[in-house]
């Protein structure tokens, strides 16, 4: 089913008698998602409002992410949270999964840039929430609730985002000799100072990576200052290429069974001690991607966070959802989807 209008989509939901899997580009699914009958949102396309001078964009959910990024780039703008998706990714999938790239540590995730939404709940009601400005506090904040809900509470049909200017200059510093555990102190040092780092990551063969963006003079000054401070931790270089697209691709290889671990950066060294070499670190060490043998799970010490299998045959979550969170999720779904039309997962 691929409706072309919001009204047709609402009618399909009202008439549905079996679970539906909300599907855009299907590029951000976790194991266990997508088993129900697909309800394709890619018929809902198009940018309905773009005001570059107001840094505001309104777009239908099925619009390809690439179209959104090309439109913004033509005006010297971007989605500041740096969602980056595989080919076919839609802007609705970006919001539904609360996507974010390396710049999350500076500008937040999709939910932090979302200003307003239109959605359809499990009874076929069309709901509008939020607006086109940040100071919109009328009623319940469904904008934040729907960001990351992964199609369990309703179908997003239209989204309004705050955009950001593309920085005029960028420098990436690397410490190529550091392994993953040794990179944590370098990333922590950079994030704890006044260098305004917009990316703090680690990749095999590339070492620790630190990105600085802004006006050219400011970037040069901050890069020199940060390089001097990092010199005690290892050899510091300026990357000649752009390594950040490599980081965007981590965790998407279906041939690997990949786990995504979220933790405090200070806890990352203890976690890494029990793992094989990770595929990447991001967000200063708070995000770890690691590939494990099929069917296995990471051996993790106690930590503040969670781990989830993001590619592979079966769902996996460590620790399991606690009773309080499970009850809240159940009550939310009962409110927004009382008939159980939208496919659910843990």
How far apart CA 274 and CA 299 sit, in angstroms, is: 6
Taking residues 88-100, report their average pLDDT.
96
d(CA 304, CA 91): 30
In whole angstroms, give the CA distance from residue 173 to residue 309: 31
- Return the pLDDT at 252: 83
Q: 213-270: per-residue pLDDT in tens?
A: 999 999 999 999 999 999 999 999 999 999 999 998 888 888 889 999 999 999 999 9
Mean pLDDT of 193-215: 97
Q: With contact defined as beta carbons under 8 Å apart, do 55 and 16 qualify?
A: no
pLDDT of 345: 54
Residue in 328, 221, 309 with CA at minimum distance from that of residue 259: 309
What whole-number distance in Å separates Cα of residue 19 and Cα of residue 21? 7
Q: Would you list the DSSP string of 48-107? A: EEEEGGGTEEEEETTSBHHHHHHHHHTTTEE-TT-----TT-BHHHHHHTT---TTHHHH
Q: Which residues contact 77 (CB under 8 A, 6 or more apart)?
A: 52, 55, 163, 164, 165, 166
Residue 170, Cβ density class (10 Å: 0-12 exposed, 13-18 middle, ≥19 buried): middle
Query: Average of pLDDT values for 182-203?
Result: 97
Q: What is the pLDDT of residue 256?
A: 87
Give the per-residue pLDDT at 134. 54
pTM value is 0.93
47-82: per-residue pLDDT in tens?
999 999 999 999 999 999 999 999 999 999 999 999
Distance (Å) of CA 191 to CA 75, 131, 211, 243, 326: 30, 33, 11, 19, 34
Confirm if 132 and 115 have CB atoms less than 8 A apart. yes
pLDDT tens sequence across 12-44: 999 999 999 999 999 999 998 988 999 999 999
Q: What pLDDT is stored for residue 344 in this prediction?
A: 64
Quick check: 132 pLDDT over 70? Answer: no
Tokens of 311: 């590619």
Task: Name the nearest CA neighbour of 68 among 84, 176, 175, 39.
Answer: 84
In tens, the pLDDT along 272-295 reads 999 999 999 999 999 999 999 999
Two structure tokens written together for 248:
């965007």
Q: Express each pLDDT in 134-177 by its tens digit.
A: 555 556 789 999 999 999 999 999 999 999 999 999 999 999 99
Any idea what the Cα angle at residue 234 is, between residues 231 and 238, rounded to 5°?
70
Cα-to-chain-centroid distance, residue 14? 30
Task: Say whether pLDDT at 311 is over 70.
Answer: yes
Average pLDDT over residues 199-225: 98
Taking all residues of the chain, what is their mean pLDDT, rounded to a whole number? 94
Beta-carbon contacts of residue 299 (< 8 Å; ≥ 6 apart): 274, 275
What are the b/e assignments for 77-87, b being 16+ CB within 10 Å?
A: bbbbbbbbbee
Distance CA 230, CA 12 (A): 57
Closest C-alpha to 93, from 174, 30, 178: 30
pLDDT of residue 254: 82
Distances (CA, A) of 300 to 75, 185, 192, 268, 271: 45, 21, 26, 10, 6
């Amino acid at each position: 089913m691929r409706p072309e209008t919001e009204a047709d989509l609402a009618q399909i939901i009202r008439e549905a008698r079996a679970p539906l899997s909300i599907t855009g580009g299907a590029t951000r699914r976790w194991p266990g998602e997508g088993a129900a009958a697909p309800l394709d949102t890619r018929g809902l396309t198009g940018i309905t409002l773009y005001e570059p001078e107001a840094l505001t964009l309104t777009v239908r959910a099925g619009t390809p992410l690439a179209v959104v990024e090309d439109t913004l780039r033509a005006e010297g703008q971007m989605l500041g949270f740096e969602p980056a998706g595989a080919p076919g990714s839609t802007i609705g999938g970006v919001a539904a999964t609360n996507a974010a790239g390396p710049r999350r540590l500076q500008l937040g995730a999709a939910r932090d840039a979302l200003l307003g939404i239109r959605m359809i709940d499990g009874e076929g009601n069309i709901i509008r929430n939020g607006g086109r400005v940040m100071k919109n506090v009328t009623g319940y904040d469904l904008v934040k609730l729907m960001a990351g809900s992964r199609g369990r509470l309703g179908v997003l049909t239209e989204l309004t985002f705050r955009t950001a200017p593309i920085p005029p200059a960028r420098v990436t510093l690397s410490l190529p000799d550091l392994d993953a555990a040794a990179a944590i102190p370098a990333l922590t040092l950079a994030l704890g100072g006044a260098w305004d780092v917009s990316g703090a990551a680690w990749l095999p063969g590339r070492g620790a990576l630190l990105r600085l963006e802004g006006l050219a003079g400011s970037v040069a000054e901050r890069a020199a200052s940060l390089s001097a401070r990092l010199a005690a931790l290892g050899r510091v270089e300026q990357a000649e290429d752009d390594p950040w697209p490599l980081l965007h691709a981590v965790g998407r290889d279906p041939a690997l069974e990949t786990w995504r671990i979220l933790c405090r950066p200070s806890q990352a060294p203890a976690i890494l001690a029990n793992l094989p070499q990770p595929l990447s670190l991001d967000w200063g060490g708070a995000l770890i991607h690691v590939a494990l043998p099929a069917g296995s799970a990471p051996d993790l010490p106690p930590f503040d966070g969670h781990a989830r299998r993001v590619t592979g045959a079966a769902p996996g979550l460590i620790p399991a959802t606690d009773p309080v969170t499970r009850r809240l999720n159940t009550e939310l779904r009962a409110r927004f989807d009382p008939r159980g039309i939208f496919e659910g997962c843990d």
